A and B are shown apart, each in its own frame.
Chain A
Amino acid sequence: MFDRRLIRYFDWVLLLVLLILATISILNLYSATYSIRDLGGSRIFTKQIYWFLIGFGVFFSMTSFNYNALERYAYPIYFLSISLLILVLFAGKVTSGSQRWLSLGPVSFQPSELAKIAVLLVLAKFFSKKGGRKKYRLRDLWQPFILIGIPGVLILKEPDLGTSVLLMTVSFTVILFVNVNWKSLVILAMSALSVVPFIWLNLKEYQQMRILTFIRPDMDPLGSGYHINQSKIAIGSGLFWGKGFLKGTQTRLHFLPEQHTDFAFSVLAEEWGFLGSVFLLLIYLVLIMWGLNIAKESKDIFGSIISVGIVAIIFWQVVVNVGMVTGLLPVVGIPLLLFSYGGSSLISTMILMGLLMNISMRRFMFSQ
């Protein structure tokens, strides 16, 4: 298993980027929890360090096997994730009005995270079968649609609007990547739009409120409008150089809610200013571009598509989170990958990163 080539083609760039992100994330989390360090803040901080250590462990273990094996197990994994999604709707732990978690003793995890990976795998398998030449038309895509649709709806029922939409978006990105002719694209877009009212009616009231508040922020200045308002103040008041490490007043005085989760970026922006925020975005950009490069260099279509899918996951989550905290998008409760506090999100991201590393390391290994 330990081929010397694995070490030779070890992707140091990817690892470096992840380490930089981890460091910045830890530092930022320290600041975000600094003011409540006596009230559990330091516990959160140390917990996240442990998660990072475990995460890197998972990362490395994901590189230990040949990813092509997943091609064989794609559908079984997929069906497992579907059954878990159904299970969580009945036996899931109820937290703040939604059932997203399954507990296995001391640990709990979200089936929706597994579903993300599973859908990628089956999509990649589907599209790699026919090879890259084929130009797909709408009628050819009925299978992928079902493959995406089932988990999509199940996740929506939890309810978890954010993850469901993310799943759809990533999947469509992948589909776009594999060459669909533009006529079908237009029909696709129109049908997507026609579905919107149906989705709206199925949204819960607080979800509808969030969107309405986004359009008219003054409608609910003490509710979700408050979050965005305080976030913009935090970000904007950082100016160019920021207020300095541990010196963010919005953070320290608790004007910024959810500062170690959804709004972790705002903490960074307040303390490190324009310079710091753009720097972080640059790191993500490097990660994404490097991921695309891995997709390009991948030895097969299967790996390529998975890589693109992983890059899409990173890209969309970053864009949605940063867009949300800067007031460009409504509040949707998506944390920032590899930056916000959260163990389960970190582990599932590390699984994806590990997979990416896996594909990158084996780009010249044509047999195994």
Chain B
Amino acid sequence: MLKTSDFDPVSGGLFNKQFKKIALFVLLIFGVLVLRLWFLQIVNGHVYRSKSEQNRIRLQDILPLRGVIFDRKGKTLVDNRPYYDLYLIPEEVQDRKKLFEDLNRFFDFELELSEQKFNKASRRHPFKPMCIKKNISRDELALIETHRFNLPGIMIKVKPQRHYVFGDLASHLLGYLGEITERELMNNKYPDNKQGDLIGKSGVERRQQPVLNGIRGGEQMEVDATGRKIKAVSRKPPVPGANICLTIDKDLQALAEKCLTGKRGAIVAINPGNGEILALASSPSFDPNFFIGGVDKENWNKIVLSKDFPLQNRALSGQYPPASVFKNVVALAGLEEGVIDPREEIVCNGIYTLGNYDYRCWKKHGHGKVNLHRAIAESCDVYFYKIGMRLGIDRISSYAKKFGLGRITGFDVLQEKGGLIPTREWKLKRFGVPWQAGETVSTSIGQSFVLVTPIQMAAMTSAIFNGGILYQPQVTKWAKNVTGEIVYEFVPKVNGRIKVRKENLELVKKALVGVVNEPHGTGGRAKLRHVIVAGKTGTAQVVSLEKEKKFSDAGGIPWKFRDHAWFVAVAPADSPKIALAIVIAHGGHGGSAAAPIAKVIIEAYLENSG
């Protein structure tokens, strides 16, 4: 039974047009979709590919182990020790409150983590460890490890930390670490270091930063969307920093620092044959371990704003008037210029008059008749006033500069100052007033404007005894990387030569031996029985003699007005093995405050090295 409504073939034909339109429309839209896929997968496919890699790959730095620093005998001075941070993984923590209650039983201080912070971390990064306490002690570590199964979600991370084995020993020389600053990052001085890295801020740590640092490694970790680590994709191991051996002797350094305890000053011990620094001490000092783990502002200010300036390396940047030690320069200058006849005897009666002014000798009633030898050995001021006047300031200055004074030695630890050697020209430029003759007088005995640093004195004194060679002081003996390959080896460097006739040098040398070994020599307290020590005392005035007298009459000079005590020494005089420069700020007389220290140090050194 055909129902006409069921069968309408004519309309089928009418609909053909519609079908065509629909089919076309469908193809068009699908074409758009395919085009879109083409755009995403082919045209921009590589962009999305790298984005998908970025999603799943986390780059993790592996910090390299910093190089170890040894003394010349191989004793470890600075190394790396492990330190432990406490972390928790939010996802694995079952009961936050209870966990913290348990933890606080082990620690003296209250560990806190706000519920808000915890919930935020649980939501965003449930598998990312959160640091809750830095630098826990070994005892605390032991406690936590034993109770590990009662503390679900706790994790310990180990990190290496710089450790200065002997505390404040050689702190100025070794230096300390601090976080890299923005400026240092921008200057690109340390291309391997990134923000947050600890780098050397002073001393050898700073100077040798690229050598000690090593090369950071990295790890590519695959992570899922919650931050959970799935596996390591690739790993580039870090290259540890090279180890450095210094030229200093740890025991000698310790002894030198002991001698400076409670005092303000510096000691430089150098090998006159090649410039190796045997000890470099500055007081007061500090403990570089203090800076590890960051310093809070209060403690930092205590150090930085302290009137004692413990961070200052006085051996390199302490500038003091050399006083009588400068007489060595004047003596050699006078001999070379022919202005001194070694046999000439000058009368010292305690006073030298120039114009209206009386310049006094430290020995109140004078030395009597002195020749060059006695003038040096007994440190006669008047003799040198006269010689100085004969030479004139410019000649004195030029010889001083030849001996390396007035400029830095270029020591391979920074923070050096150059001291000051005045000239006519300099004074005019500096003060706008011409040079006065009286200033030459003072300069001849190392006062007036003259300023030197202990390291300059050590280098200069060495040069007098090694035939005139100014060696560059150096403190790095060698640097070796992990494979044993030598990265650096000590080679003596010559800064300059003192072109002085041999016989003149011998005269001065003999006189310096006399300072220590002759009965009236000012440095008698440095005398040793089995070794010939040569040296020179210096007592640098801080205020004028008259003022000093006023004070001492009143019953004691205030510390800050007391003289600086100098002593330079070389031993053994005939085949020098060690040269010393010692300055004790406000220490008093060179002969009584500084010379005895030289004796102790020389004795210990020569005993130990035969």
The interface of chain A, by Cβ under 8 A from chain B, is: 68, 128-129, 131-133, 177, 179, 230, 232-240, 249-250, 253-255, 269-270, 273-274, 277-278, 281, 284-285, 288-289, 292, 295-296, 299-302, 304, 308, 315, 319, 322-323, 326-328, 366-367
Contact A253 B6 (CB under 8 A): no
The stretch from B26-34, B281-289, B364-372, B544-552 touching chain A is B26-34
Across chains A and B, the number of contacting residue pairs, with CB separation under 8 Å, is 141
Cβ of B357 under 8 Å from chain A = no
Q: How far is the CB of B281 from chain A (nearest CB, A)?
A: 59
A236-B48, A292-B22 as given contacts; A328 in contact with B36, CB under 8 Å: yes
A133-B11, A301-B11 as given contacts; A255 in contact with B225, CB under 8 Å: yes
The stretch from B38-46, B318-326, B485-493 touching chain A is B38-46
Contact B15 A285 (CB under 8 A): no
Contact A239 B42 (CB under 8 A): yes
Contact A131 B8 (CB under 8 A): yes
Interface positions of B from 8 to 38, Cβ below 8 Å from A = 8, 10-12, 14-16, 18-19, 22-23, 26-27, 29-30, 32-34, 36-38
Q: How far is the CB of A217 from chain B (nearest CB, A)?
A: 14
The interface of chain B, by Cβ under 8 A from chain A, is: 1-3, 5-8, 10-12, 14-16, 18-19, 22-23, 26-27, 29-30, 32-34, 36-38, 40-42, 44-49, 51-53, 55-56, 222-226, 230
Contact B2 A253 (CB under 8 A): no
Chain A residues whose CB sits within 8 angstroms of the CB of B29 once the complex forms: 315, 319
Chain A residues whose CB sits within 8 angstroms of the CB of B44 once the complex forms: 236
Instruction: Enumerate the 8 nearest inter-chain pairs by beta-carbon distance, A residue then B residue, closest first.
Output: A236-B48, A132-B11, A237-B52, A253-B224, A239-B45, A236-B40, A254-B225, A237-B49
A131–B5 Cα distance when bound, in Å, is: 8
Please report whether the interface of chain A is mostly helix, strand, loop or mixed according to DSSP: helix
- Cβ contact of A253, chosen from B15, B34, B47, B225, cutoff 8 A: B225
Contact A366 B6 (CB under 8 A): yes
Chain B residues whose CB sits within 8 angstroms of the CB of A133 once the complex forms: 11, 14
Contact B230 A232 (CB under 8 A): no
Chain B residues whose CB sits within 8 angstroms of the CB of A131 once the complex forms: 8, 11
Residue of B whose beta carbon sits closest to that of A326: B36
Q: How far is the CB of A174 from chain B (nearest CB, A)?
A: 11
Contact B33 A304 (CB under 8 A): no
A230–B27 Cα distance when bound, in Å, is: 28
Chain B residues whose CB sits within 8 angstroms of the CB of A322 once the complex forms: 33
Residue of B whose beta carbon sits closest to that of A295: B19
Q: How far is the CB of A90 from chain B (nearest CB, A)?
A: 35
Q: List 29 A-B contacts (CB under 8 A).
A: A128-B5, A132-B8, A132-B11, A133-B11, A236-B41, A236-B48, A238-B41, A238-B45, A240-B42, A253-B223, A253-B225, A255-B55, A255-B56, A255-B224, A269-B41, A274-B41, A278-B34, A281-B33, A284-B30, A285-B26, A292-B19, A292-B26, A295-B15, A295-B19, A300-B6, A301-B8, A322-B33, A328-B36, A366-B2
Q: How far is the CB of A324 from chain B (nearest CB, A)?
A: 11
Q: How far is the CB of B4 from chain A (nearest CB, A)?
A: 10
Q: How far is the CB of B610 from chain A (nearest CB, A)?
A: 69
Chain A residues whose CB sits within 8 angstroms of the CB of B36 once the complex forms: 323, 326, 328
Chain A residues whose CB sits within 8 angstroms of the CB of B41 once the complex forms: 235-236, 238-240, 269, 273-274, 277
A285–B224 Cα distance when bound, in Å, is: 36
Chain A residues whose CB sits within 8 angstroms of the CB of B8 once the complex forms: 131-132, 300-301
A350–B18 Cα distance when bound, in Å, is: 26
Q: How far is the CB of B228 from chain A (nearest CB, A)?
A: 9
Residue of B whose beta carbon sits closest to that of A367: B1
- Cβ contact of B33, chosen from A68, A288, A326, cutoff 8 A: A326
Contact A237 B7 (CB under 8 A): no
Chain B residues whose CB sits within 8 angstroms of the CB of A302 once the complex forms: 6
A250–B36 Cα distance when bound, in Å, is: 20
A238–B336 Cα distance when bound, in Å, is: 88
Q: How far is the CB of B497 from chain A (nearest CB, A)?
A: 70
Chain B residues whose CB sits within 8 angstroms of the CB of A295 once the complex forms: 15, 19
Contact B45 A237 (CB under 8 A): yes
A236–B49 Cα distance when bound, in Å, is: 7
A235-B48, A278-B34, A301-B8 as given contacts; A326 in contact with B225, CB under 8 Å: no
Contact B12 A253 (CB under 8 A): no
Contact B56 A68 (CB under 8 A): no
Chain A residues whose CB sits within 8 angstroms of the CB of B15 once the complex forms: 132, 177, 295-296, 304
A270–B15 Cα distance when bound, in Å, is: 40
